[in-house]
Amino acid sequence: MEILILIGVMMVAALMGINLVFAILIASTATLLVYRPGIPLEVVTQLFLSGIDSFLLLAVGFFFLAGELMNRGGVTRRIIDFASACVGHIRGGLGHVNVVSSIFFSGISGSAVADTAAVGSVLIPAMERAGFSRGFAAAITQTSSVIGPIIPPSIPMIVYAVLAQQSVGAMFLAGIVPGLVVGLCLMVVVYVISRRRAYPASEWSGFRAIFKAGIGAAAALLTPVIILGGILGGIMTATEAGAVACAYAFVVGKFVFRELSWRDCGIALVDAAKGTSTVLVIVGASTIFAWIVADLQISKTASEMIFAISRDPFWVLLLVMIFTLVIGLFMDPLAGLVIIVPVFLPTMIEIGVDPIHFGVLVVLNLMIGLTTPPVGYLIYLSAYIAKEKPEVVIRESMPFLGALVAALLICLVFPAVVTTLPALYNGG
């Protein structure tokens, strides 16, 4: 009954148009009033503040700022040029460039929205001029942007690490191969559709052109190397790596590429502050939610409900992934993490599922929700950039959504895809 009230009130509030963060707070407070009426409401405020009082969460703000500085510092064009030199000659040329650009760009922004806006604003018009339909261009842009929060640095991975008390470095490592799997699955779909529709490809420009484009983009592509190398080498914490990434992004944009103005810096600071505050509020609300889940033993109830169906780790994990996919249709990914992690992580640990494996699956699953109706705002952003109807983008996205689900299933069925790199790093 507790879980029904907690999630039911939250869903009703969300359907009424109330912001999801406030919906979580309302549901948590209502559950406290019903089941713990003797607890003063001041506890809610204390839990909220304690949730965001974390040194690790400073990394969120730094990574947001680094991404914003890179976005405005001439990075996008250089990455696209490099991707075009590498894969532009394959059938469906610019479609593959879109995917590969998202892979490279993910190591800078860590945000699906930033990826769609930056890459889409350049490539969607270019794809239309080359003969691709606007709906197809928008569809591949929004679905390939899912890679952004999978390959490090990743804001959702940091949030999961905080909620699940896992290593940020391990989560970052665990996302690399799944991100590449997603990219490969999308490129297969691009190739098949391009052959059927006779979409063009550019001429092979040779290894010299790849080398030249790589030199131009080298400063940008070094960003994830600096971040991961610093964290995994024990030189920096995730927070310190974020600060170094900000300084590096500023130097590259201002003095190397010379495209970052002081006005751009001001805009980047404001946008980063907005993104960071959103994440912190969600994490604060999640602390209250998680405390209630633990206090009322809701995770135990959820485990019993699942175990009534099956105790096999694979089927339990599959059931949770189906539930997560449904949650992702209606909720922001970070809000979805608030629900999924406290409720189901104890069950996963009980049946022997690696928390790192579970975390990557949940993040990837929730990211798919960004590309699906009714809430998927990447649909509307890409449609706006492409000047196309959202329903057309949704229709064109169906094959690519199939590719995303296929990538999710690969990571589910073959845990080594996720866990091998963290295990190697830990000496396992």
The band of 427, judged by pLDDT with boundaries at 50, 70 and 90, is low
Instruction: Return the pLDDT at 157.
Output: 92
Where does the pLDDT of residue 2 fall: very low under 50, low under 70, confident under 90, or very high at 90 and above? low
Classify residue 361 by its DSSP letter.
H
Is the domain of 281 the same as that of 391? Answer: yes
The reply to whether 44 falls in a domain is: no
Residue 46 resides in a domain: no
Q: Cβ-count burial of 194 within 10 angstroms (0-12 exposed, 13-18 middle, 19+ buried)?
A: buried
Q: Which of 126, 81, 83 is nearest to 104 (CA)?
A: 83
- Which range of residues forms the domain containing residue 382? 54-425
pLDDT band at 146 (very low <50, low <70, confident <90, very high): very high
Q: Which of helix, strand or coil describes residue 97?
A: helix
Same domain assignment for residues 101 and 234: yes
Give pLDDT tens digits for 216-270: 888 888 888 888 888 888 888 888 988 998 999 899 989 988 889 999 999 999 9
Q: For residue 49, tell me if it sits in a domain.
A: no
Residues 221 and 269 grouped into a single domain? yes
Domain match, 11 and 64 both: no
Contact present, 328 and 290 (Cβ < 8 Å): no
Quick one: which of 236, 201, 278 has its CA closest to 20?
Answer: 278
Is 299 within a domain?
yes
Which phi-psi region, left, alpha or beta, contains residue 354 (left: φ > 0; alpha: ψ -120 to 50)? beta
Whether 338 shows a pLDDT value over 70: the answer reads: yes
Average pLDDT over residues 171-182: 95
Look at residue 308 and tell me if it is in a domain.
yes
**Residue 58: pLDDT over 90:** no
Residues 160-169: what's their mean pLDDT? 90
CA separation for the pair 326, 407 (Å, rounded): 17
Q: At what angle do helices 333-350 and 155-164 cross, to 10 degrees?
A: 40
| Lowest-pLDDT range of 158-167, 340-349, 375-384, 407-416 | 375-384
Residue 428 pLDDT > 60: no
Q: Which residues contact 94 (CB under 8 A, 6 or more apart)?
A: 84, 88, 123, 126, 127, 130, 132, 137, 202
Tell me whether residue 401 is in a domain.
yes
Backbone angles phi, psi at 164, to 5 degrees: -100, 0
d(CA 203, CA 386): 25
Residue where the block lists tokens 């602390």: 287
Query: Do both 87 and 172 map to the same domain?
Result: yes
pLDDT at residue 4 above 80? no
Residues 233 and 368 occupy one common structural domain: yes
pLDDT, one tens digit per residue, over 360-392 is 999 999 999 889 887 788 898 899 899 999 999
- How sure is the predictor about 306, in pLDDT bands with cuts at 50, 70 and 90? confident
Residues 244, 317, single domain; the answer is yes
Between 407 and 21, the more confident residue is: 407
The residue to which tokens 């019993």 are assigned = 304
Residues 1 and 95 in one domain: no
Overall domain count for the chain: 2
Q: Is residue 107 part of a domain?
A: yes
If asked whether residues 97 and 224 sit together in one domain, one would say: yes
Which range, 56-60, 113-117, 201-205, 344-348, has the best average confidence (pLDDT)?
Answer: 344-348
In the chain, the amino acid numbered 205 is: S
- Within a domain: 90: yes
Are residue 139 and residue 261 in the same domain, yes or no? yes
The answer on 163 and 31 residing in a single domain is no
Q: What mean pLDDT is predicted for residues 33-50?
A: 81
Q: Tell me: do 13 and 159 sit in the same domain.
A: no
Please give the pLDDT value at position 395. Answer: 94
**In sequence order, what DSSP letters do the residues of 124-142 get, joined into one string?**
HHHHHHTT--HHHHHHHHH
Tell me the two tokens of residue 144.
């390939």
| Cβ-based burial of 35 (10 A; exposed 0-12, middle 13-18, buried ≥19) | middle
Give 298's contacts (C-beta < 8 A, 6+ positions apart). Answer: 2, 3, 6, 292, 342, 343
Average pLDDT value for residue range 265-288 = 86
